[in-house]
């Protein structure tokens, strides 16, 4: 039963990631390829604040989310001048920069050795040391994320985002400040990705650079594409499917040295098939032009 709840907790964290990226990719139409960078900043910042300064994990989570948001601003300001493939390349570069910083700045992040002994969350003085408490906490954060994303996409601001996705030039002709709106949505997506990273770090209590590679960004993007672009339910469905699917390989008896590359092969094959047969995803309403 604990194993099942462990998988569900990981699925909840990745659903938050999928929803945060869906705001950028699915609702605004920006081809972002470096979302794992914000995931990493939230995880490392929260962990380092707690380990080095002795801060509360909750305060560490807040600061980690804020730093992820600030990174979103720093990257978005120059990148939003770019369109299409150029924007994708810029965000791809962001993911590589953050990965190599956490990997090579060993004096600060411990590099490939990773950060151990990350403190777990506490609730009214009680340490959440079991999966059941973390399941409820992660579920609470997921519900907050769903609520915020739902309010955004169904507001006048959300309708502007969809107009940018469909025809940015037309949206500008109607007097909309598309650059400001894209900046806000990138900041929001980065904020929630930072929250997911902090939740992940304080749950597993050990993080390493290998958890935040470019392949991680592709996995999060695949969750959005699989579930459906421009769909909250689809993003949640995609996150659940792609977290549960690799776990099934454990029961096939396949050795880990084979299961890991096999998972990446199957992910790539799934992405190709989706692009050919259903580009908008299972429940989506939008496809890249």
Q: Where are the domains of the chain?
A: 2-209
pLDDT number for residue 172: 83
End-to-end CA distance of the chain: 44
Pairing of the two strands 126-127 and 122-123: antiparallel
**Residue indicated by tokens 């672009």:** 229
Could you tell me the two tokens for 289?
């032009």
Helix (H, G, I), strand (E, B) or coil at 254: coil
Radius of gyration of the CA atoms of the chain, in A: 18
Three-class DSSP labels, 216-253:
HHHHHHHHHHHHCCCCHHHHHHHHHHHHHHHHHHHCCC
Dist. CA 16–CA 19, nearest whole Å = 5
Would you say 131 and 7 are in contact if contact means Cβ atoms under 8 Å apart? Answer: no
pLDDT by residue, tens only, the chain of 289 residues: 788 888 999 999 999 999 999 999 988 888 888 899 999 999 999 999 999 988 889 999 999 999 999 998 888 887 677 777 788 888 888 889 999 999 999 888 998 998 998 998 877 655 666 788 889 899 999 999 999 999 999 999 999 998 888 887 888 888 888 888 889 999 999 999 999 999 999 999 999 999 898 889 988 998 998 888 888 999 999 999 888 877 777 776 666 666 667 777 777 787 788 778 777 788 876 665 5
Please report where in the chains the tokens 């309010």 appear, as a residue.
151
Q: Taking all residues of the chain, what is their mean pLDDT, rounded to a whole number?
A: 86
């Amino acid at each position: 039963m604990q194993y099942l709840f462990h998988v569900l907790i990981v699925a909840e964290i990745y659903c938050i990631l999928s929803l945060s990226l869906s705001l950028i990719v699915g609702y605004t139409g920006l081809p972002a390829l470096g979302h794992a960078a914000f995931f990493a900043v939230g995880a490392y910042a929260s962990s380092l604040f707690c380990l080095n300064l002795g801060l509360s994990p909750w305060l560490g989570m807040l600061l980690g989310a804020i730093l992820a948001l600030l990174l979103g601003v720093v990257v978005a300001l120059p990148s939003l001048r770019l369109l299409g493939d150029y924007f994708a390349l810029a965000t791809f570069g962001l993911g590589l920069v953050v990965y190599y910083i956490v990997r090579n700045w060993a004096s600060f992040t411990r590099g490939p050795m990773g950060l151990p002994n990350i403190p777990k969350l506490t609730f009214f003085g009680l340490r959440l040391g079991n999966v059941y408490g973390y399941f409820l906490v992660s579920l609470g954060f997921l519900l907050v994320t769903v609520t915020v994303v739902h309010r955004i996409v169904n507001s006048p601001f959300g309708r502007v985002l969809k107009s940018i996705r469909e025809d940015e030039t037309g949206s500008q002709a109607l007097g909309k400040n598309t650059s400001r709106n894209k900046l806000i949505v990138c900041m929001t997506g980065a904020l929630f990705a930072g929250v997911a990273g902090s939740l992940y770090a304080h749950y597993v209590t050990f993080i390493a650079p290998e958890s935040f590679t470019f392949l991680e960004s592709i996995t999060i993007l695949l969750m959005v594409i699989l579930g459906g672009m421009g769909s909250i339910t689809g993003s949640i469905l995609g996150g659940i499917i792609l977290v549960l699917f690799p776990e099934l390989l454990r029961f096939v008896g396949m050795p880990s040295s084979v299961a890991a590359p096999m998972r990446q092969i199957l992910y790539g094959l799934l992405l190709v098939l989706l692009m050919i047969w259903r580009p908008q995803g299972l429940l989506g309403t939008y496809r890249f032009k």
